[in-house]
């Protein structure tokens, strides 16, 4: 009967400590919410099972008859998603009798910087026996803060142990850190946490990647945080690469509400040692701003491009999308976009979020977590939907967006028509006149009405508070 299973890494009240070099500071408590959307028009029966790190099922939550294409929030801090213990560290598996998609929202509170930090990531719907984690950090200083990652590896098989080997490889272009290998047996349904801040075998500082190999399917999430708890990022992991990647939401010096936003692009070679390095053509697609045309980079291991200093963006400001393609050989690669917002007056780093690129488009995409002027934790939360036309050579993209309110709040439904999308477009829910309520919390279904493939990224922004209040996730295709 179960048609869809999604793995997620979840925690509540988890005290995380970073102890790198001279830093030994508690960075507060981390909690999660799991947002699940029914991708069918038929009602769905959902169940979320929680497993601690030892694989013990600590409890579950169920939802019957979730309306078609609606979403629901399982909040681990509250009874709606209580995992059965306080505190809780581990993972969850979402199962349903209809196709579903999930997004995890993470919040870290009580850091020494006195601010909360946020991030979102997609539920891991395609576990694998081989997973690449292209960005692993230990003791890396950036923007005046020290960054470390924590890998969480979930054994998605609840009936058999997983024999897992993790190989850490320093980036030869950076030259920081030592190669290292860790092995571990993860019990059925269990999770293995590797905190790089305490992984001294990597060296004092490490900048590189990791490869996870297992005899059972596993899901891998990589969390990156600062020594003062003021920033939180979840880096994407990959089960396979591609020769074409799409990324909307590229920015250079975009001023908004007192913050200067910009992005950096990281491209990672996912080929084997015997493969030639991918030669990637970078094509910027402006919504605003000007560019000098496509150019190529050869990616031996990884390449990062800061769009503030890329001479191929010829205007002072830029907003748009990026297309990456390797037409020289068949070596696969992956890419991610890091978005940061610095205080425009002081230059201090405040906001940060990262999402992976899309390798293929769809004609129907779901987004389970949308907000318009929702007040929480001292912030006013809203979302923007970034839509990228993945085949602009064939013509403009037309889409219809159907918004559905969370059924625990109400039954409002709104329809927004977006036509003539040449390469990309941003729909800010605060400015969409079709949402006639002053506030909105729910989900949406986006459909291409003229058959053009597209991809979606959702940016979640909290304004009016202090600290890191930015997160992001990819739209979900059935």
The domain spanning residue 453 has which CATH number? Answer: 2.60.290
What is the reported pLDDT for 5?
A: 59
Q: CA of 441: how far to CAs of 75, 188, 457, in Å?
A: 14, 36, 17
Classify residue 394 by its DSSP letter.
Answer: G
What does pTM read for this prediction? Answer: 0.92
Q: Residue 426 pairs with which residues in a beta bridge?
A: 386
Query: Running DSSP on this structure, what letter comes out for residue 187?
Result: P
Strands 302-306 and 100-109: unpaired
C-alpha 230/C-alpha 195 separation (Å) is 18
Q: Say whether both 112 and 219 belong to one domain.
A: yes
Same domain membership, residue 147 and residue 218: yes
- In the block, which residue shows the tokens 């969409």? 432
Q: CA distances (Å), 195 to each of 214, 222, 273, in order?
A: 19, 10, 27
Per-residue model confidence (pLDDT) at position 454: 98
337 and 388, same domain (yes or no): no
Query: For residues 355 and 358, what is the distance between their CA atoms, to the nearest angstrom?
Result: 9
Residues 39 and 110 in one domain: yes
The pLDDT of residue 7 is: 65
Report the candidate in 123, 289, 264, 90 with the shortest Cα–Cα distance to residue 190.
90
Tell me what pLDDT residue 88 has. 92
Rg, Å, the chain Cα set? 21
Question: Measuring CA to CA, which residue among 199, 261, 248 is closest to residue 458?
Answer: 248
How is residue 152 written in tokens? 């969480």
Neighbours of 262 (CB within 10 A): 20
For 469, the enclosing helix (H) or strand (E) is: none
pLDDT reported for residue 26: 43
Query: Do both 138 and 278 map to the same domain?
Result: no
Tokens at 339, concatenated:
């978005």
**Distance, CA of 348 to CA of 144 (rounded, Å):** 9
Among residues 206, 235, 264, the one where a domain terminates is: 235
**Confidence (pLDDT) at 14:** 40
Closest by CA to 40, choosing from 74, 67, 63, 72, is 67
Chain-centre distance for alpha carbon 234: 6
Give the pLDDT confidence score for residue 13 in this predicted structure: 47
The residue behind tokens 């150019």 is: 295
Per residue of the chain (478 residues), what is the pLDDT tens digit? Answer: 344 556 666 655 443 322 222 222 346 788 999 999 999 999 999 999 999 999 999 999 999 999 999 999 999 999 999 999 999 999 999 999 999 999 999 988 776 666 778 889 998 767 899 999 999 999 999 877 899 999 999 999 999 999 999 999 998 888 999 999 999 999 999 999 999 999 999 999 999 999 999 999 999 999 998 877 777 889 999 988 899 999 999 999 998 877 889 999 999 999 988 999 999 999 999 999 999 989 999 999 888 999 999 999 999 999 999 999 999 999 999 999 999 887 767 766 667 899 999 999 999 999 999 999 999 888 899 999 999 999 999 999 999 999 999 999 999 999 999 999 999 999 999 999 999 999 999 999 999 999 999 999 999 998 876 666 889 999 999 8
- Whose tokens are 């941003």? That residue is 426
Shared domain check, 266 and 218: no
Residue 462, both tokens: 């909290």
Q: Are residues 393 and 314 in the same domain?
A: no
The pLDDT score that the predictor gives to residue 20 is 22
Indicate whether 47 and 194 sit together in one domain: yes
**CATH number of the domain that residue 214 is part of:** 2.60.290.11
Residues 220 and 267 in one domain: no
Do residues 348 and 467 both lie within one domain? no
Q: Say how far apart CA 140 and CA 177 lie, in whole Å.
A: 10
Residue 216: both structure tokens together: 């059972």
Among 326, 356, 386, which residue terminates a domain? 356
Q: Which residues, 6+ apart, have CB-to-CB distance to 76 below 8 Å? A: 10, 11, 12, 31, 32, 33, 34, 82, 83, 88
C-beta neighbour count of 359 within 10 angstroms: 19
252 phi, psi to nearest 5 deg = -140, 115
Given 356, 376, 411, the domain boundary residue is 356
122, two tokens: 């997609």
Q: How far apart are CA 360 and CA 445, in angstroms?
A: 18
Question: Is there a single domain that holds both residue 224 and residue 321?
Answer: no
- Looking at the structure, tell me whether residues 297 and 424 fall in a common domain: no
Count of domains for the chain: 3
| Contact in structure between 258 and 343 (CB atoms under 8 Å) | yes
The tally of CA atoms less than 13 A away on the side-chain side of residue 133 is 31
Name residues whose C-beta falls within 8 Å of residue 81's C-beta, 6 or more positions apart in sequence. Answer: 33, 34, 48, 61, 73, 74, 75
- The two three-digit tokens of residue 404, written as one number: 């559905």
- Matching residue, tokens 């860790």: 182
Q: How many other C-beta atoms are found inside a 10 Å radius of the C-beta of residue 90?
A: 27
**CA-based angle 281:279:395, to the nearest 5?**
30
The rounded Cα 468 to chain-centroid distance in angstroms is 15
* Domain that residue 429 falls in: 364-474
């Amino acid at each position: 009967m179960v048609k869809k299973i999604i793995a997620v890494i979840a925690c509540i009240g988890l005290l995380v400590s970073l102890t790198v070099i001279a830093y030994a500071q508690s960075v507060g408590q981390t909690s999660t919410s799991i947002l699940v959307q029914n991708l069918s028009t038929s009602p769905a029966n959902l169940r979320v099972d929680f497993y601690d790190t030892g694989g013990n099922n600590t409890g579950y939550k169920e939802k019957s008859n979730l309306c078609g294409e609606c979403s629901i929030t399982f909040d681990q801090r509250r009874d709606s998603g209580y995992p059965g213990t306080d505190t809780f560290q581990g993972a969850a598996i979402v199962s349903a009798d209809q196709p579903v998609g999930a997004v995890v929202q993470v919040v870290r509170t009580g850091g020494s910087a006195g601010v909360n930090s946020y991030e979102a990531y997609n539920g891991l719907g395609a576990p694998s026996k081989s997973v690449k984690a292209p960005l692993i950090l230990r003791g890396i200083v950036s923007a005046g803060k020290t960054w470390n990652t924590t890998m969480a590896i979930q054994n998605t098989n609840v009936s058999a142990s997983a024999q897992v080997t993790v190989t850490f490889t320093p980036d030869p272009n950076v030259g920081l850190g030592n190669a290292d290998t860790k092995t571990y047996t993860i019990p059925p349904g269990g999770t293995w946490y590797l905190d790089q801040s305490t992984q001294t075998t990597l060296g004092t500082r490490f900048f590189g990647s990791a490869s996870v190999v297992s005899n059972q399917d596993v899901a891998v999430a990589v969390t990156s945080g600062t020594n003062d708890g003021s920033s939180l990022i979840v880096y994407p992991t990959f089960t396979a690469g591609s020769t074409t990647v799409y990324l909307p939401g590229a920015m250079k010096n975009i001023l908004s509400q007192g913050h200067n936003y910009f992005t950096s692009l990281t491209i990672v070679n996912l080929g084997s040692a015997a493969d030639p390095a991918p030669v990637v053509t970078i094509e910027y697609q402006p919504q605003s701003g000007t560019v000098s045309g496509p150019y190529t980079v050869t990616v031996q291991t990884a390449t990062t491009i800061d769009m503030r200093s890329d001479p191929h963006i010829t205007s002072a400001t830029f907003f748009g999308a990026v297309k990456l393609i390797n037409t020289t050989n068949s070596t696969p690669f992956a890419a991610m976009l890091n978005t940061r917002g610095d205080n425009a007056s002081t230059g201090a780093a405040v906001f940060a979020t990262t999402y992976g690129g899309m390798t293929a488009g769809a004609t129907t995409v779901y987004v389970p977590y949308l907000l318009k002027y929702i007040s929480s934790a001292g912030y006013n939360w809203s979302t923007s939907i970034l839509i990228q036309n993945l085949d602009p050579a064939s013509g403009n993209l037309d889409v219809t967006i159907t918004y559905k309110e969370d059924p625990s709040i109400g039954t409002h439904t709104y329809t927004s028509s977006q036509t003539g999308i040449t390469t990309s477009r941003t729909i800010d829910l605060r400015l969409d006149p079709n949402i006639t309520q002053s506030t909105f919390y729910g989900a949406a279904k986006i459909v291409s009405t003229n058959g053009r493939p597209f991809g979606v990224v959702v940016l979640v922004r909290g304004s009016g508070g202090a600290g890191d209040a930015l997160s992001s996730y990819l739209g979900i295709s059935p």
